[in-house]
Every structure is written in structure tokens, then in C-alpha cells.
Structure 1
Amino acid sequence: MASRGLLVELLLPSAALLVVLLLSAGLTDAQGLKAGFYKNTCPGAEKIVLEEITKALSVAPTLRGPLVRLHFHDCFVNGCDGSVLLNGTKSSPAEKDALPNLSLRGFAVIDRVKAKLEKACPGVVSCADILAVAARDAVALSKGPSYPVLTGRRDSRRSVSNDTNGSLPPPFLSITQLHTLFASKGLSAKDHVVLSGAHTLGTANCAAFSPRIFNFTGRGDADPALDKNYVAKLKTKCKGISDQTTLAEMDPGSFLTFDSSYYKLVLKRRTLFGTDDALLRDATAKALVQRFADNQSEFFKEFGVSMVNMGNFQVLTGTRGEIRKHCALVN
């Protein structure tokens, strides 16, 4: 994680807000992560990540959301240990081979960042840390907040497809089930509402939500919770319930910009997933949705806090795990 000096350096013209959560490079958390972990061993680490993510997004701007999603999917399966990046085999499929992860993108970008870091500081910076810093930079480069990322994670040697079962939230969970799942990852109900705001970036495959618009109850109907005009627009975009090629913007008209418009869409019932609509089915969650819809600065501040909370989950530090030379392969 950057010192205060590097944090100032990372303040980009496109970043709407710099959220300073840590005031000293010496702060640590209970998991053993700390600010300035690479200060002596690879002082330019975060600058290298930022440079490479900037290059990648200039060529492929739609990777903004996917880079954030990679970090989320990594942390929710056995903790933030870089395991989502490992390749599997036909006989031993890895996390990235599991159904919920088949639509993940951005692996090549992470590999390029890792190659640059290996050239500058061989065997020092973990793939798990790259995911955390890259997610932050993708948000900041999308006019969102920049926030300090504690570093010091090490990489797992394990990645098993079946470990994703029950770990990643499917798009149909109730608000109670969602809160329970997030709590199992050390995250509060508030963290859940805040992190849902990441849906302001990116797209989703029609097949992931099409039952809500084409066959919600099995009788060719749409989810009554959805705005009818929104349903009509989605039907003109998606080619049917089995359309696995068409992508829909999760935050129409603003899917490349990190802002609070997602929460405004939730209130209008114009979201793709049932888990988005579920935020309105709990009084406390709904109140937070309204607050963030009205106050983008508050959302930005809370997003940095919740991302740090998520990034601390079940990390490997010290002598556990390894520092991979290539993010897709164990050493």
C-alpha cells in the first residue's frame, strides 16, 4: 500500500475523490497486512500497477468492471489469495473453470502487470496484491475514489472449481441470504450494500438475468418487481432466455464511469439482477440505497472502507503460500 506521498501521486485528474483511510504508512491490520509493505523491497510496485492498468483501460475501457470483479471473486472463494488466477486442467478444474467464473475477464492484464513487476522486483509482489491494487486503480481511473490498499498478501497454491459452490452469490438470493453470505466473509450488511455499488461499472451477459424478463415464473412472464419500461428495453436487446452472446450495461449510459447512479436505478427498479432488487426488501439496506443515491461523496468514502474490509478476508501472510512467478501457475 502506498505511503501518503505515493497516495498524492496516485490522485488522478479523472478520480472524483481521494479517500484517505490510513494516515500512516506504518499502520497494520489484524491479518498482518500493512501500508507500505513494498516500501523497501519494491518501492515502485503500485506505480507499475497503475501504469499498466492505465494502458490496458486506454485500449480496452470495458475492462474497468471486470478488473473489480476479479478481486471480488478471488476474495469470496477461500479469501483474497490470488487463487482465481490459477489455471486448471481437464482432470482438475480450477476456480476460473467454475460456472460463476466463466464470464470473468482481465486475466491477461493481470499477467502483464505481473510480468512488469517480475522484471523490476523478481519474486516480491504477489498476484493477490496485484488484484487488490488493480481493482482500486480501475475504480479511480473510472472517475471513482482512490483509496489506500493494505498489502502483504501471499498467493495460494490451491484452486479448485468446487470451492466456488456456495461461496459466490447467485443472482437470485434473498436479502437475508445475501447478508448471511457476506457475514461469512467477515463483511457487514452495510458492506454488502456498499459493494453492490460496484455494479455501476461493467456489463452482464443476457443469459445471467434473462429469466427475470422472459420467464420469471415459468409462464413466459417478467419479474413484477422490474419497471415495465425497463423490461421492454431489455427485451429489445436480449434475443431470448438462452442468449449467451449479448451484453447489457449494468448502469445504462454510465457503465464506464464509477458513480452513484446504480443506487438511483435500484430505486427505480431498473437493475439486472434479483440481488440488486433485494436491497429494497430490507429497511436498513433501502435507507442506505437512498443515502448513496442522494450523496455520491458518502458512497465513495464508504466504498473505499468496504473494499479494504473485503480485501482483508482470509489472506495468506508471512510464510504461508508463495509469491508466484506467473499468476496462472504455481511455482
Structure 2
Amino acid sequence: MRNPNHYFKVLILCILAVASTHAQLQLGFYTKSCPKAEQIIANFVHEHIHNAPSLAAPLIRMHFHDCFVRGCDGSVLLNSTTKQAEKDAPPNLTVRGFDFIDRVKSLVEAECPGVGGPYWKVPTGRRDGVISNLVEARSQIPAPFHNITVLQKLFQDQGLGLKDLVLLSGAHTIGISLCTSFSNRLYNFTGKGDQDPSLDSAYAKNLKTFKCKNINDNTTMVEMDPGSRKTFDLSYYNQVSKRRGLFESDAALLNNPVTKSLVIQLLQGSLENFYAEFAASIERMGQIKVKTGSEGEIRKHCAFVNS
């Protein structure tokens, strides 16, 4: 993910909550109304991404968390007002990149007020949500401690299948995590001071010795894909196959015959195939409960509903 073009695609996918006067999404929706939108974003990314090289993973995570609550409507970007918004829910407290998005959004607004641009190859024409609820975020966003049954249910609720679960989990090939997101696996898995037996014992020992030295360590960061966190590759699935997935949700992929088979298939395939499959899954996720026509609004600022 070091190529700025990769960051550009991820940023487009997250930033632009877009306007529509039609009831359907379509490819090239803004070709005429705001033809410079993508170039504005690309220029900003090329100019500034070297100062924030680790933003790719947080931006993918932000998009994921947004889509699982009321659909892909930018509701995760809203600040809390009289009611606590999604942004302040526990799963989102470690989400980063909001300022980066706000800065690009302001440039696009200056060029074309109320207009955004395309997400990967996803048809555009979606609008921003006006409701953002902390409680919904807590209950609907898949968590690192969820088992395969819960994960499958949460994905099904969004119209996604087991293949999407495996592919989107592949985003863990980049980025980092706080120890507290998985330290129970090391120190108190069943509440009896034990270790998760599904976690490779040598990997667990390494984590306890050199990284998360106690269960309450809430400052140390750990690579989700050791030695490969800055490269979007197949290494994550290799770690999972060796029982070295960092989260319970990673280990869960081996607890279902379908997901386990998909992990093996990805490892046996090419990197190009993984890229294509991952992109297709991101596109499916990007169409969850999209708002078009007169639904929602076109926010002037990402963090605030229009007054």
C-alpha cells in the first residue's frame, strides 16, 4: 500500500458522500457536474500521504464501520451532539483519518459545492445520513472477540456472505492494534487466567514476552500481520492458517468449513486474484443501504448535519 494510487482509491472510497437528484446510482455520475473531483483528491494524496503513510488501514476500517451501521452513508463522520454519535462508540474510538478526510472534503466543496466523486468502480449518486447512533455502532460492527456464528449473522444482516467475511478480514494484512483488543486471549480467555488454545503457543509467548506484558496494557501497539503491516498482500491468510491470527475473529475463520476452505484457496491463488476479489467485496459492501434521491442530505461539512 505504499503506492499513492492505492491510498487515492481508499480515500475516494471513504471521503465522498455524494449528491443525487436521481433515485439510482450510476457509473460516472459526476463526470459532468464535477469533473475535477478525483484529480483534486489525487493531488492532495500525492502531496500529503508521505506525512501519513499509515492511514490506509484506518481508512478501510472507517469505511467498514460506516457501512455496517445504517449503510454506507457517512454517519460515522458525524460528531456527537445531544446524543452520542457512532464516532464515540467503543469500536470507533481508535478509528483515525477524520481530519485527513475533512481537509480533502473542503477542497472538493470549494470546487463543486455539495458534490463528491466515485468509489472504486462503484456507481455514484449516494447521499449522507443524518442519524448517527452510538448504540447501533456497538451492536452492529463486528468485533475482534466475535466468534464465527456472530460474525456470519452480522454479515448476513448487511447482505454479505461468508466469502465477504474472509475477503474483508484480509484488510488486517495492514495496520496495527492495541493489546487490549486481544489480550484476553493471552491472559484470561475463559475468565480463569488461561490462554486461548486456538492461538499458536509460540506466537502467544512472543506476544507476552515482547509486546503485551499484561492484560491491561492499553498503550502498546502490535502489528496485525507481523513483518508485513505496510504491504497489502496474502501474508495475513498465511498467519491465520498457522493459528497466528491476532484476534478471535481471525481465528474464527478456521472454525467453519466454508471460510477455512476460502482461506486455503486464497493462499493457493495469486496476489492479483486476491486484489480483484477484495475490490469486488469492498464494492459490494459499499452498496449497503445507500441513500439516493431525496433521502438524507449532502453535508457541507463531514462532521455536522446541515443546519
TM-score, normalising length: structure 2:
0.89
Rounded to whole Å, the distance in 2 between the matches of 1:218 and 1:56 is 46
Partner of 2:29: 37
Structure 1 residues 292-303: aligned runs within 5 Å? 292-295=266-269, 296-303=271-278
Partner of 1:196: 169
Look up the equivalent residue of 1:310 and give its one-letter code: M
Look up the equivalent residue of 2:201 and give its one-letter code: K
SS of equivalent residue, structure 1 residue 248:
strand
Greater than 4 Å deviation, 4+ residue runs = 12-15
SS of equivalent residue, structure 1 residue 62:
coil
Partner of 1:271: 245
| 2:76 aligned residue (69, 77, 84) | 84
Displacement of 1:246 after TM fit? Answer: 1.0
8 Å Cα contact 1:52-1:112 kept in structure 2: no
Displacement of 1:197 after TM fit? Answer: 0.5
| 1:171 aligned residue (144, 156, 160) | 144
TM-score, normalising length: structure 1:
0.82
1:14–1:108 CA distance, 2 compared to 1 (3 A): closer
Displacement of 1:62 after TM fit? Answer: 1.4
5+ residue gaps, structure 2: 10-22
Structure 1 residues 107-256: aligned runs within 5 Å? 107-125=98-116, 133=119, 147-235=120-208, 236-256=210-230
Displacement of 1:219 after TM fit? Answer: 2.6
Look up the equivalent residue of 2:98 and give its one-letter code: F
Partner of 1:137: none
Rounded to whole Å, the distance in 2 between the matches of 1:103 and 1:13 is 23
1:14–1:232 CA distance, 2 compared to 1 (3 A): farther
1:28-55 C-alpha deviation (Å, 9 max, x unpaired): xxx8222111111111212222333344
Rounded to whole Å, the distance in 2 between the matches of 1:272 and 1:72 is 19
SS of equivalent residue, structure 2 residue 177:
strand
Look up the equivalent residue of 1:172 and give its one-letter code: F
Look up the equivalent residue of 1:215 and give its one-letter code: N
SS of equivalent residue, structure 1 residue 149:
coil
Partner of 2:305: 330
8 Å Cα contact 2:4-2:45 kept in structure 1: no
5+ residue gaps, structure 1: 1-11, 19-30, 134-146
1:65–1:148 CA distance, 2 compared to 1 (3 A): same
SS of equivalent residue, structure 2 residue 181:
helix
Residue 309 in structure 1 maps to residue 284 in structure 2: yes
Rounded to whole Å, the distance in 2 between the matches of 1:97 and 1:174 is 24
1:187-240 C-alpha deviation (Å, 9 max, x unpaired): 111111111101111111111111001211223221111111111121121131
